[in-house]
Structure 1
Amino acid sequence: MRHLSVKSRHVGVIVVGLALAGGAVACGPKSGGDAKASDGKPQRGGTLYVLNNQPQEDFDPARLYTSGGGNVPSLVYRTLTTRNRANGPAGAKVVPDLATDTGEPSKDATVWTYHLKDGLTYEDGSPITSADIKYGIERSFAAELSGGAPYLRDWLIGGAAYQGPYKDKKGLASVETPDPKTIVFHLNKPEGEFPFLATQTSFAPVPKAKDDGTKYASHPVSSGPYRVVKNENNGEHLVLERNPHWSAATDSQRKAYPDTIDVQSGLDQAVINQRLSAGVGKDADAVTTDTNLGPAELAKVTGDKNLAGRVGTGHFGYTDYIAFNPKVKPFDNIKVRQAIAYAVDRTTVVNAQGGSSLNDPATTFLPEQASFGYTPYDPFPAGKDGDPAKAKELLKEAGYPNGLTVSLTHESTKGDEQGPEVATAVQEALKAAGITVKLDAQEHAAFGQKIRTIKTEPGFFLTGWGADWPSGGPFLGPIFDGRQIVRDGDNFNNAQLDDPAVNNEIDAINKITDLKAAAVRWGALDKKIGEQALTVPLFHPVYKRLFGKDIKNVVISDWTGVLDISQVSVK
């Protein structure tokens, strides 16, 4: 499981990497893609320009997540499965890509088998084989290519000790290729969500003969509709052109309308929005996958009928919340945590972060999306403005009839979702309940290190979490599974919860291969954990992004929350 990073308001997905990050890396009650592009059917041809703030660094399938870079990698790297390229909730489904289906599980979901489609080729016309996918996966274990999805190291038998093909020529015995079109994975434990994992770029095929290690990112061998013809300054400027050997007959997901895709990064966010708004020259054929409209920009755009029609709305599975460390007093007292949950005024918090157009108030830890298992609940119903009277009552029961003083740790960067504006809104709301909040502002890097290290973790702080795929598993597991507490590295189980009942339920859900049935169980588990007041969910961010006036076929799914450039036409 992976945290998408403490992200700024303008960066959608890491992904997660990163993320996902991107991240890295992205859902709400509304469906994505509510904007309509200019009239006319999409056509092939032309150049699509992508104007981004963050560069697409380390363009190697071993070091990326599928959602990283606003889905640019998926134009070059196909994987065993992929996300469904559709608007809103329909886009949260996993579908076959290189494989004929989403995988054949064994009875206990510890063995997954995939068969490749016929006619799959690389950009040079050579066939894609199951051995190439196995080799691509093995590369992701190499220390030289670190940074990608960590799941396989935990899930595959022997994965924890494997060091990649450059040091271990024998390869991973738990990944078998009995013939050129079949690949079999043997797992340490049941994983019903393996089809989601198989969307990540570590599952992209890499021909061993063309692998040159850390240099591979500059000229990777494409299995997708586009090939890399230019990669300047480690992803700052990427130019993609058509892969002549890609066939739409084997790829129902990527439309590949433009002839060329030109990705320019390192641009100022205000400049990106200005260029998209003006739409002069090439910018009429431009989009962004990582730059939001801010409150002032959104107000201006909303008042302009032409611009308002060129705003795409997206929801990514992310929750910003207050975290408690019950090992620190007074947060070891559940009534203190409950009092804070009642005292929080989500209206002022949402307004501090740009208003309701850019944020959905949250009372559940899971994002408001069916694929996550979202189950509406509010264990501490205080209304949209908080309930200071109820908070005072609980404080009295906790032994603090005259209130108390606490310290809230937060990011120092203005505009950040865990930044001073949100911290001040929390401070003011708690003041009405008799709780004095001293603000502890930390610079970005120091903040991350402090809240993720058990020895330095404060008792009360702002943070956020995003999922690597739209399910409750990568959301609840890293935050509440006691076996994922990390004592000598980055720890995300902030409450240090190690409840056997929670751990056992996570294991039970992971055995379920019916993803809809699993979602129901994740929702029920979210409610059960929520009643312990280990977090106070605040809001789920909403992404509002401009696109050029000549852009057609805008698709924004609830998987990434960003415009899908594999669907866009510029003619």
Structure 2
Amino acid sequence: MRALSMLRHQGVRRSVSSFLLAGLTMAGGLAASSPLSATAQTAVDPTPETLAAHRGGTLRLVAAASGGTLDPQINYTAKYINLYAVVYDGLTTFRKTTGPRGNEVVADLAETLPTPQDGGRTYVFTLRPDIRFSNGQPLTTADVVASFRRIFRVGSPTAGSFYSAIAGADACLNHPADCSLKDGLSDDPARRTITFHLAQPDTEFLQKLAFTHAVILPASTPDHDIGNEPIPGTGPYRVTSYDPNKILRLDRNPYFHVWDAQAQPDGYPDGIDYSFGIPDEAAVTAVENGQYDWMADTVPMDRLGELGSRFTAQTHVTPHPAMYFIPMNVNLPPFNQIKARQAVNYALNRKAMVILYGGPGIARPLCGMLPSSLPVTSDQCFYTRGASPSAPAARWTAPDLEKARALVRESGTAGQHVTLVTANTSIDYAMGTWLRDMLQSIGYEATLRPLSSSMAFNYMQNSGNHVQIALKDWSADYPSPSNFLDDLLGCENFHPNSDSSINIPGFCDKHIQAIMDRAKTDVSLTPQQTDDLWRQANRMLMEQAPIAPVIEKDDVIITSPRLKNFFYTQVNKLFFSQVWLH
């Protein structure tokens, strides 16, 4: 917390200069000396000799808090979604390999990827034979149909954004308990086929089927959040015990066999233990010393120097489409006023946020909603000194506090009380403290409300909690602009009074939504035309300013001295089943 202390008690200009120098030193050394593991190519179909040589041991993971429910169709936290990749399977998945090919979709529980029919509206999958759940039950087409109905019945966070193209999905979204998808989904048990009928084409449908919320569960799974009770899966591991205050335990699935190593390879560790209750500062030391093998929480910025100088062999800087952003509730004062939202964007010192995250070696200011590691990126900066929505700049240079204060006065919201909600991790708390002071400096009575990282995201999403403004990080579910624009600000993703409402601002603009929908559904467009639609949607969203983009960030991952074969994909990050423990 040394960074926080200095930032609060020194002038803004002096603090930024001091920490910029420190950030360049720490993060620059870290980035220069650490292996860029995501660029390495690793074999995913090992020989029997390789398996025998490296199989065994228990992988030890650690986090400050648990990730909440075990329900894979409801949980939307990185802490568990990446873990679920070795427990559950969908009809499709992302290729389990490092490097760019890890972004490719391959068949998983389906035998092959189907060719879309009827102008992209019909997909017919054939289920692989002889696959069993971890309880021994055979996997059938009825399980597939029931799993997709369950997505809507349990109110999965991505039911609207990912699966609303399925015919009948609108009725399911409006009346979840009665969801049948009878017009959009059918099966033929004798042929082992499942047929999807879409109301309109979806150019990313195979990617969405590969996401965790579309995993296949037994048809007998209850249509409600199962909480702390594990659901059988088909992957190489199964959840055997869970105490959200202490530990999550995974053991080998006795019924697993490899059907395609590119989709779901066999695992090297015999078990995985995920311990909770260890703060991020203590977790760094514990992983450095080999008490744990990997930590879920972000490495605090004041520990990056030692990683870059003393633990380079254990430190990995990996590219990933990810950012920090500030959602503002467009339905509550003061941010129901567009000028108030624009004021926050102008006042935000993105350079300071880069430093608080760890320096320019691992983070960069972000002007729009599309990080640079995506195929389509934000190409204009509206909210920087000397720029405006009508005359954007090419990049962010500096905050404009005078412009921000003027906008607050013009909005008629000066003097109003604002509560900023953040997670209570070291980095989020430090950023939140800075942002609270910034809000005060432009004319608000601001307070900071840090919450446990296990509950902060759900709390922010629920409109019943009346969150005015928050700070949140976000990573791509798969590399697409839709993961940042439509997911976070699509009309279909605002669900009042629900913990599964990822459109935290409660924003809906029908014209912008139509542009995003066309980018997702119009199969006649060229890739360039589709990219141009996403850029147009990004520019229009930034004009409305329901969100203030903060920074884009790389992953800084520390592992124990005994963890070998660091296996990183952009989708699943560290892929737990493929590491060796020596």
State the distance in 1 between where 2:415 and 2:329 align.
16
State the distance in 1 between where 2:181 and 2:264 align.
32
State the distance in 2 between where 1:37 and 1:92 align.
13
| 1:505 Cα deviation from its structure 2 partner | 0.8
Corresponding residue SS for 2:306: helix
Residue 469 (structure 1) aligned to one of 459, 466, 478: 478
Tell me the amino acid that sits aligned with residue 502 of structure 1: I
Q: What is residue 371 of structure 2 aligned with on the other side?
A: 367
CA spacing shift, 1:37–1:233, aligned 2, 3 Å = farther
Residue 347 (structure 1) aligned to one of 326, 351, 355: 351
State the distance in 2 between where 1:439 and 1:367 align.
29
CA spacing shift, 1:412–1:536, aligned 2, 3 Å = closer
In structure 2, stretches of 5+ residues that fail to align are 1-30, 43-48, 386-394
Tell me the amino acid that sits aligned with residue 556 of structure 1: Y
Q: Are the aligned partners of 2:124 and 2:196 in contact in 1 as well (CA < 8 Å)?
A: yes
> Is 1:308 aligned to 2:312, yes or no?
yes
Tell me the amino acid that sits aligned with residue 539 of structure 1: I
Q: What is residue 292 of structure 1 aligned with on the other side?
A: 298
State the distance in 1 between where 2:580 and 2:167 align.
43
Q: What is residue 505 of structure 1 aligned with on the other side?
A: 515
Q: Are the aligned partners of 2:325 and 2:547 in contact in 1 as well (CA < 8 Å)?
A: yes
Tell me the amino acid that sits aligned with residue 381 of structure 2: D
Q: Are the aligned partners of 2:381 and 2:396 in contact in 1 as well (CA < 8 Å)?
A: no
Equivalent runs, 1:436-515 vs 2, <5 Å:
436-442=443-449, 444=451, 452-453=462-463, 456=466, 458=468, 462-482=471-491, 484-486=493-495, 489=498, 493=503, 497-512=507-522
CA spacing shift, 1:294–1:155, aligned 2, 3 Å = same
CA spacing shift, 1:32–1:523, aligned 2, 3 Å = farther
State the distance in 2 between where 1:424 and 1:509 align.
37
Residue 46 (structure 1) aligned to one of 49, 56, 62: 56
Q: Are the aligned partners of 1:120 and 1:250 in contact in 2 as well (CA < 8 Å)?
A: no
Q: Relative CO higher for 1 or 2, CA cutoff 8 Å, sep ≥ 6?
A: 1
- Could you tell me the TM-score, scaled by structure 2's length? 0.73
Q: What is residue 14 of structure 1 aligned with on the other side?
A: none
Corresponding residue SS for 1:238: strand
State the distance in 2 between where 1:265 and 1:82 align.
27
| 1:358 Cα deviation from its structure 2 partner | 5.2
CA spacing shift, 1:557–1:194, aligned 2, 3 Å = same
Q: What is residue 285 of structure 2 aligned with on the other side?
A: 274
| 1:260 Cα deviation from its structure 2 partner | 0.3
Q: What is residue 380 of structure 1 aligned with on the other side?
A: 383
Q: What is residue 140 of structure 2 aligned with on the other side?
A: 129
| 1:476 Cα deviation from its structure 2 partner | 1.4
Tell me the amino acid that sits aligned with residue 398 of structure 2: G
| 1:339 Cα deviation from its structure 2 partner | 5.2
Corresponding residue SS for 1:265: strand
Q: What is residue 92 of structure 1 aligned with on the other side?
A: 103
State the distance in 2 between where 1:142 and 1:120 align.
26
- Could you tell me the TM-score, scaled by structure 1's length? 0.74
Bigger share in helix: 2
Tell me the amino acid that sits aligned with residue 529 of structure 1: L
| 1:193 Cα deviation from its structure 2 partner | 1.9
Identity %: 18
Q: Are the aligned partners of 1:123 and 1:246 in contact in 2 as well (CA < 8 Å)?
A: no
Q: What is residue 23 of structure 1 aligned with on the other side?
A: none
CA spacing shift, 1:298–1:184, aligned 2, 3 Å = same
| 1:525 Cα deviation from its structure 2 partner | 2.0
Tell me the amino acid that sits aligned with residue 568 of structure 1: V
Corresponding residue SS for 2:483: helix
Tell me the amino acid that sits aligned with residue 312 of structure 1: H
> Is 1:550 aligned to 2:562, yes or no?
yes
State the distance in 1 between where 2:193 and 2:56 align.
38
Q: What is residue 9 of structure 1 aligned with on the other side?
A: none
Residue 252 (structure 1) aligned to one of 245, 259, 262: 262
Q: Are the aligned partners of 1:132 and 1:207 in contact in 2 as well (CA < 8 Å)?
A: yes
Corresponding residue SS for 1:292: coil
Q: Are the aligned partners of 1:124 and 1:245 in contact in 2 as well (CA < 8 Å)?
A: no
Tell me the amino acid that sits aligned with residue 300 of structure 2: G
State the distance in 2 between where 1:126 and 1:455 align.
41
| 1:544 Cα deviation from its structure 2 partner | 1.9
Corresponding residue SS for 1:566: helix
CA spacing shift, 1:520–1:436, aligned 2, 3 Å = same
CA spacing shift, 1:512–1:566, aligned 2, 3 Å = farther
Equivalent runs, 1:87-486 vs 2, <5 Å:
87=98, 89-117=100-128, 120-122=131-133, 128-141=139-152, 149-151=158-160, 154-159=164-169, 172=182, 174-178=184-188, 179-208=190-219, 221-228=232-239, 230-233=240-243, 236-241=247-252, 243=254, 245-247=256-258, 249-269=259-279, 270-279=281-290, 283=291, 287-288=293-294, 290-304=296-310, 307-324=311-328, 337-338=341-342, 340-357=344-361, 359-371=363-375, 373-382=376-385, 386-388=398-400, 392=402, 407-411=417-421, 414-415=424-425, 419=429, 421-425=431-435, 427-428=437-438, 431=441, 435-442=442-449, 444=451, 452-453=462-463, 456=466, 458=468, 462-482=471-491, 484-486=493-495
Tell me the amino acid that sits aligned with residue 241 of structure 2: N
Q: Are the aligned partners of 1:276 and 1:546 in contact in 2 as well (CA < 8 Å)?
A: yes
State the distance in 1 between where 2:150 and 2:579 align.
32
Corresponding residue SS for 1:72: helix
Q: Are the aligned partners of 1:352 and 1:421 in contact in 2 as well (CA < 8 Å)?
A: yes
State the distance in 1 between where 2:407 and 2:497 align.
37
In structure 1, stretches of 5+ residues that fail to align are 1-27
Corresponding residue SS for 1:352: helix
- For 1:364-410, what per-residue CA distance to the aligned partner results, in whole angstroms no more than 9, with x for missing partners? 21222224x2233212343766253xx53686699769x96565431
Q: Are the aligned partners of 1:313 and 1:556 in contact in 2 as well (CA < 8 Å)?
A: no
CA spacing shift, 1:565–1:414, aligned 2, 3 Å = closer
State the distance in 1 between where 2:295 and 2:81 align.
5
State the distance in 2 between where 1:265 and 1:288 align.
11
- For 1:207-228, what per-residue CA distance to the aligned partner results, in whole angstroms no more than 9, with x for missing partners? 5589999889867544223345
State the distance in 1 between where 2:220 and 2:122 align.
29
State the distance in 2 between where 1:216 and 1:399 align.
46
Tell me the amino acid that sits aligned with residue 73 of structure 1: Y
> Is 1:525 aligned to 2:572, yes or no?
no
Q: What is residue 8 of structure 1 aligned with on the other side?
A: none
CA spacing shift, 1:61–1:69, aligned 2, 3 Å = closer
| 1:183 Cα deviation from its structure 2 partner | 0.9
| 1:101 Cα deviation from its structure 2 partner | 3.9
Backbone CA RMSD of aligned residues: 4.6
- For 1:336-373, what per-residue CA distance to the aligned partner results, in whole angstroms no more than 9, with x for missing partners? 655553443212222234434553321121222224x2
CA spacing shift, 1:138–1:376, aligned 2, 3 Å = same
Tell me the amino acid that sits aligned with residue 380 of structure 1: Y
